[in-house]
Amino acid sequence: MSTPRCLPWFGIGLFVTVAACSSSNDTTTTSDAGGISSDAGTVSDASTSADATSDAGPDAIPLPTACPSQKHATLVVVGDSISDIGSGSGADEQPFYRTLLVQNDDALYPDYKGFDLKTCWGLDPGTGVVKVSKGGAIATVPDPNDPTSMHILLNQVKSLPATLTGPVLVVGTIGGNDITAGLTDALLGNTAKQQADIDAFVAGFGAAMAELTKADRFGPGVKVDVLITNVYDPSGGTGHFYYMPENKACPGPLAIWPDNQSTDGPLAQWNAAMATEAAKYPGVKLLNMHDPFKAHRVGTPTGTCWYHDDCIHPNASGHNGIRGIFYNAIVGLK
């Protein structure tokens, strides 16, 4: 497998910044499709029979051994730039997880040969995929009077067709841009405002999940499964936002975080609130993206880093990891 370098810049993950605002011109498209799964919406380690793993360590993502038994006819992709076009500036970020999930690159990732949705389900990468993800997207609804912005997760979900061929599988990433917006409050210790930020995020996230899972959302009797990731931390909890091997400070908001001040506490509050909210909606599973990325933080050497040179968006190795998180979760669907 190729293992792209980790360098410098800005995008989306824990504290997303300028590049997270980069986006494609997609609204709804049917081209270029794109675990660690959880039960009842709570984050937990992956459950799988696979012995082989893609990376060593306690948070390694198991390699595939079987096709998902539950077939879906349509894949929907929602969320932010991780699910859209990344930073929009780096070839080292491709292929994206959403693309690999539908059709593996057998030359680049031979371990996944035969284990993609096109091979396993016959899913058409064109007609079987609906993509509404957009760089810079947030779950928080800052202006309830703006029902059109695709930068709001709820509006993405509402823009989806009224009918889709089922069963429908929804995948996506969200939360990094919301956390970035609340970064200043965390640094200043403004706990009341920080909690208000989390509450607003949860409200918007919950509204989107409710819309996705409401009865007959995509047609009478159409079953819907929703897989959404929690938020990773480019520093792996260390608060040391330097990328290797150059050992340069990460740009944007990451640069103002006090060096080596742990980020675990602030981020845990957001991820815990997200898990609690996700558990309210049958059919929604929150996937643990945070833990597998810890061993591949921006400070790790070339060949192990899972981040693009902006210290936030995943590089190709990171997208392969995310693909694995989603694939294992899909295999675990009942």
Question: Residues 5-40: pLDDT tens digits?
Answer: 333 222 333 333 333 333 343 433 333 333 333 333
Condensed to tens digits (0 to 9), the pLDDT of residues 262-320 reads: 999 889 999 999 999 999 999 999 999 999 999 999 999 988 999 998 999 999 999 99
For residues 174 and 36, give the distance between their C-alpha atoms in angstroms, rounded to a whole number: 16
324 pLDDT higher than 50: yes
pLDDT mean over 209-234: 98
Residue pLDDT, tens place only, 77-115: 999 999 999 888 878 899 999 999 999 999 999 999 999
| Strand-by-strand arrangement of the 284-287 sheet | 129-131, 74-79, 168-173, 224-229, 284-287
Per-residue pLDDT at 201: 96
Residue 328 CB partners (closer than 8 Å, separation 6+): 35, 36, 37, 46, 48, 61, 62, 64
Rank 12-21, 33-42, 130-139, 251-260 by mean pLDDT and report only the highest. 130-139
Task: Report which of 149, 24, 34, 129 is spatially closest to residue 81, judged by C-alpha positions.
Answer: 24
Residue 185 has a pLDDT of: 80
| pLDDT (0 to 100) of residue 177 | 93
The answer to whether residues 139 and 79 touch, using CB atoms and an 8 Å cutoff, is no
Percent of the chain with pLDDT over 90: 66
Q: Where are the domains of the chain?
A: 18-331
Q: Check residues 63 and 11 and name the one with the higher pLDDT.
A: 63
Confidence band of 1 (pLDDT split at 50, 70, 90): very low
Question: If one looks up domain 18-331 in CATH, what number appears?
Answer: 3.40.50.1110
Residue 89 has a pLDDT of 81
Q: 225: phi > 0 → left, psi -120 to 50 → alpha, else beta; which?
A: beta
Going by C-alpha positions, the residue among 299, 329, 76 that lies closest to residue 208 is: 76
In this prediction the pTM is 0.85
- CA–CA distance, 111 with 57 (Å, rounded to integer): 18
Whole-number pLDDT of residue 90:
74
- State mean pLDDT over 122-144: 94
Burial of 210 (0-12, 13-18, 19+ CB in 10 A): middle
Question: What is the token pair recorded at 64?
Answer: 């595939």
Residues 290 and 236 sit within 8 Å (Cβ to Cβ): no
User: Distance between CA 108 and CA 95 in Å, rounded?
Assistant: 9
Nearest to 22 by CA among 11, 35, 6, 33: 11
pLDDT band at 57 (very low <50, low <70, confident <90, very high): low
Mean of the per-residue pLDDT values of the chain: 84
Please tell me which residue, 2 or 306, carries the higher pLDDT value. 306
- Measure the CA–CA gap between 125 and 324, rounded to whole angstroms: 18
Mean pLDDT of 244-266: 87
pLDDT band at 254 (very low <50, low <70, confident <90, very high): confident
The conformational region for residue 9 under phi > 0 = left, psi -120 to 50 = alpha, else beta, is left
Given a cut of 80, is residue 4 above it in pLDDT?
no
Of 305, 325, 169, 164, nearest in space to 246 by CA: 305
